[in-house]
Amino acid sequence: MDPAKKEHELLVSVSPHVRDSVTVSGIMWTVSAALLPALGAGVYYFGLSALYVTLICIAAAMASESLVNWMTDRKGSLSDGSGFLTGLLLGLNLPPSAPPYIPIIGAFVAIAITKMLFGGLGFNVFNPALVGRAFVLITWPRAMTTWSKAAVGLQQVDATTTATPLGIMKEGVAVSGHTIKGIEALVHEFGTKSDAYKAMLFGNIGGSLGETSAVLILIGGLFLLAKRYISWHIPVSFIGTVAVLAWIFGGIDNETGKMIFFHGDPLAHVLSGGLMLGAFFMATDYVTVPSVRKAQLIFGIGCGALTVLIRLKGGFPEGVMFAILLMNCFTPLLDRKYRTSPFGLRKEAAKQ
């Protein structure tokens, strides 16, 4: 070895000289992988059209990202995996029967407008997939709320439509002349309470692709928790708040049509709709939620409260999407308010 030659080859860079192997793209692809069981369930129950909707979303999301990168002379950012993930999440938020223009336009709004025009990954204020969904929901309300009935089998030709469990609870079902709502309506539709829970747990219900099987989303979410890619703070505070508030305010007296306190069914609210997907995969989107733990708890409670408010009193049967988007607005404020207190400061402050 020639020492003189070696000398000029030495790298000089700032410390630290070792780095953890976790990367942004690694996180994004892992989160995408954690969503695959839920996607699989969607395809299992709703057929290949469900897969097409998701694939169109992903393709349109990545195309939109490339387009904006090209227009703004930035270097490509597809490899960070966040565009793919947004597309996948949007796909899981659409009805399996959505016509192709809905996923395409939804993905464009999500990626081009919500993410890239705000500066790309790390700079967006709102969860891109949810803004995409909100846009198409408001633009095409009928197509976005026509839910295919879940039916096992990949070659579904003539899909029948149904309502989501939340829709059933909110709108009620007509039984011998008068309408019954709430958990009793679900019991009427599914036979028994436990049959209703079972259907919602495993996904044999109407709904978006990804809101069908609570248990498969939970598996993906627990995997992310175990990998420490997400922390428990938001999912627990979000779901917990929904459960408590649904219990307090969700009860309905079908004789009088009035709310009765402390008679709601928390489990029906927790297992139905987009709550699992929202709490584990959307309200934990790093960029648009607080990063301080204490602020995350407030964020989750806010999401839960808004969700229940919209579900019980709002115009839509489901409120997870708007709840998260509204709370996204508060993210910078929460992070600022709940700034961490440095080591050694608390004691000093206590003394003064």
CB of 30 to another protein, least distance (A): 11
Interaction of residue 123 with another protein, rule CB under 8 A: yes
Q: Which is nearer to another protein, 138 or 349 (CB)?
A: 349
Q: Does 10 bind another protein (CB under 8 A)?
A: yes
* Contact status: 286 vs another protein (CB under 8 A): yes
Give the nearest distance from C-beta 28 to another protein in angstroms.
Answer: 9
Does 342 bind another protein (CB under 8 A)? Our answer is: yes
Angle at 26 between CA 22 and CA 29, to 5 degrees: 155
Task: Work out the burial of residue 6: count CB atoms within 10 Å of its CB; fewer than 13 is exposed, 13-18 middle, 19 or more buried.
Answer: exposed
Which of 20, 73, 158, 255 binds another protein (CB under 8 A)? It is 20
Specify whether the backbone of 178 is left (phi greater than 0), alpha (psi in -120 to 50) or beta. beta
* Site map (CB under 8 A) of another protein, residues 308-337, x = contact: ---------------------------x--
Residue 52 or 330 with smaller CB distance to another protein: 330
Report if residue 256 touches another protein, rule: CB under 8 A: no
Other CB atoms within a 10 A radius of the CB of residue 184 amount to: 18
Please enumerate in sequence order all residues whose Cβ is within 8 A of that of 321, keeping only pairs 6 or more positions apart, or say none: 93, 130, 133, 134, 137, 274, 278, 282
Q: Number of H helices and number of E strands within the chain?
A: 17, 6
The CA distance from 258 to 241, in Å, is: 22
Q: Are 57 and 107 in contact (CB under 8 A)?
A: yes
The residue range among 2-10, 110-118, 261-269, 272-280 that interacts with another protein, by the rule CB under 8 A, is: 2-10
CA distance 342 to 313: 42
Our finding on whether 2 is near another protein (CB under 8 A) is no
Distance CA 132, CA 212 (A): 20
Q: Which two tokens stand for residue 5?
A: 């030659």
Q: Which is nearer to another protein, 152 or 345 (CB)?
A: 345
Contacts of 16 (CB under 8 A, 6+ apart): none
Is 5 a residue that touches another protein (CB under 8 A)?
A: no
Shortest Cβ distance from residue 71 to another protein (Å)? 19
From 119-127, 148-156, 175-183, 273-281, give the range in contact with another protein by CB under 8 A. 119-127
Rounded to 10 degrees, the C-alpha dihedral 260/261/263/268 comes to: 100
Cα–Cα distance for residue pair 126/129, rounded to 1 Å: 9
Per-residue binder mask for another protein (CB under 8 A), 74-113, x = binder: ------x---------------------------------
For residue 100, the minimal CB distance to another protein (Å) is 31
Q: Which of 27, 200, 239, 252 binds another protein (CB under 8 A)?
A: 27
- Which one, 81 or 206, has the nearer CB to another protein? 81
Verify binding: residue 15, another protein, rule CB under 8 A. Answer: yes
> What tokens were used for 241?
């708040």
Closer to another protein at the Cβ: 17 or 258?
Answer: 17
Report CA 131 to chain centroid distance, whole Å: 11
Q: Could you say whether residue 14 binds another protein (CB under 8 A)?
A: yes
Return the structure tokens found at 162.
Answer: 């149904």
- Among 38, 58, 62, 120, contact with another protein (rule: CB under 8 A): 120
Taking CA atoms, 320 is separated from 20, 66, 148, 188, 203, in Å, by 35, 30, 20, 25, 18
Q: Does 142 bind another protein (CB under 8 A)?
A: no
Place of tokens 């709108």: 171
Q: Using the rule CB under 8 A, is 227 a contact of another protein?
A: no
By CB under 8 A, which span of 155-163, 203-211, 242-250, 290-298 interacts with another protein? 290-298
List of residues contacting another protein (CB under 8 A): 1, 3, 6-7, 9-20, 22-24, 26-27, 80, 119-123, 231, 286-287, 291-293, 335, 339-348
